[in-house]
Chains A and B, each alone.
Chain A
Amino acid sequence: MPIDDDPHATLAALRAEQRDLLGEADGLRRFIACMRSLIDAARSRQDVAEVYKVLDDVLDNAIRAVNARDGSILVPDQRTRELVFAAVRGDDPHAELLGRRLPHGEGIAGWVAETRRAAIVNNAPADDRFYPGLDRELDYKTHSILAAPLIGGGRLLGVVEVLNKRDGQFFSVGNKNLLSLMCRFAGEVLYAMVRDLDLSRTRTTATGSGRAGQPAGNA
């Protein structure tokens, strides 16, 4: 980087650049850690508790890998075609979301579920697909969303949604690729673990941070 007329400005810019680079390095390390835990999970026993642990781990790692504040995983109700919140994590996870249902096709998550494509939305309120109802209800402000489908065995198993990239930054294509890969791999692992369980009907009273029955807080 050339040293311009204001060395202090150059110094500030270099420090900011280093923060961004270290953040990206940390995100890539999180990605590797997530992949490793998924590989381990693929060898583990198959029961509901382990499935939810995998979901929670994927969500935790997804939020941190792309440097977001909050996130959730929604799973489809095969009967009603609604999406149901099955995991919430982050700085302000709103545990009361667990078990809540999104109508079919509603919101960015609904679009991702319908199209089976990842989405980057860096100005959520301005996007036609954005569903503002939950923001109003929870007194939350969604600025940016990055979401990707969880697919396994050719089936849509859920949608991972991470919200509000930190430090006012935008989600990038690199972030999207990381999240998409995590979801793709996680989807195959989850499919192998529990093929026929309808997760939308089983998790409304889980325990632990970011879950129903506990105060919301940092994950």
Chain B
Amino acid sequence: MSAAGGVDEEILALSVRNEQIRSQISGLREFVDSLQRLVEALDQSREDDVVMSALDESLAHAVLATGAAVAVLLVLDEDSSELVTVLARPLHEDGQLLWRRSPAASGFAGWALRQRQPLIANDARSDERFDANVDLQTATGVHSVLVVPVSGRSRTLGVFQFVNKSDHGMFDEDDQTLVALMSRFAGELMHRMSR
């Protein structure tokens, strides 16, 4: 192999590797930027619908950053003891995920609400907390779930639920940390909206 051929091969390999790194970090970088826009909207006391829109954008970026197939924000309706889907990404054309109601005590979301703790279940169907009647499912079924409670001023107001890490992968603590960060600010917004 000539020296020139060796350099060309190294250039190609580096180009490919750089593109891989770029793609790995771009999702996370965009999530951080969207979260900062959400915080700025919160801190500048923007209208609730403006802040909600920023939260929706953060959720979209969180889906990309974590590699989830779908994610929802479920808000607790204390009067009916139900969880209501108020945000969903990706949003299906018929909006079927939105405003769906499920019993607040059931499934992974119910567990996270009661325990006020996050959970990761990477073998969801085998988990005793799984409830096929309420747990969010996709067209390909459910294999992995990440749920993080949303709290405002010490009250648990709802949960974020992320389903099916891509390529049948597993949600991990980094994913949980990102969603927990988003849930912190979602809690502020929801507390504000509930007053």
Hey, which bits of chain A sit against chain B, CB under 8 A? Answer: 1, 3, 7-8, 10-11, 14-15, 17-18, 21-22, 24-25, 28, 31-32, 35-36, 39, 151, 174, 177-178, 180-181, 184-185, 188
Contacts of B7 in A (CB 8 A): 7-8, 11
Interface residues of B toward A: which range? Answer: 20 to 34
**B28 interface residue per 8 A CB criterion:** yes
Cross-chain contact of A18 among B17, B24, B180, B184 (Cβ < 8 A)? B17
Q: How far does the Cβ of A213 sit from chain B's closest Cβ, in whole Å?
A: 35
Asked, given contacts A15-B14, A18-B18, A28-B28, whether A177 binds B177 with beta carbons under 8 Å apart, the answer is no
Count A/B pairs, Cβ under 8 Å: 71
Report if B127 contacts A (CB, 8 A): no
Contact, CB under 8 Å: A21 / B25: yes
Question: B32 contacts which of A11, A31, A39 (Cβ < 8 Å)?
Answer: A31
Q: Which residues of A contact B33 (CB under 8 A)?
A: 174, 177
Q: Which listed residue (B11, B174, B178, B184) contacts A11, Cβ 8 A?
A: B11
A15-B14, A28-B29, A180-B36 given; A7·B8 CB < 8 A: yes
B32: A residues at CB distance < 8 A: 28, 31, 174, 177-178, 181
A39 to B24, alpha carbons, bound, how many Å?
24
Instruction: Give A160 Cβ to nearest chain B Cβ, in Å.
Output: 15
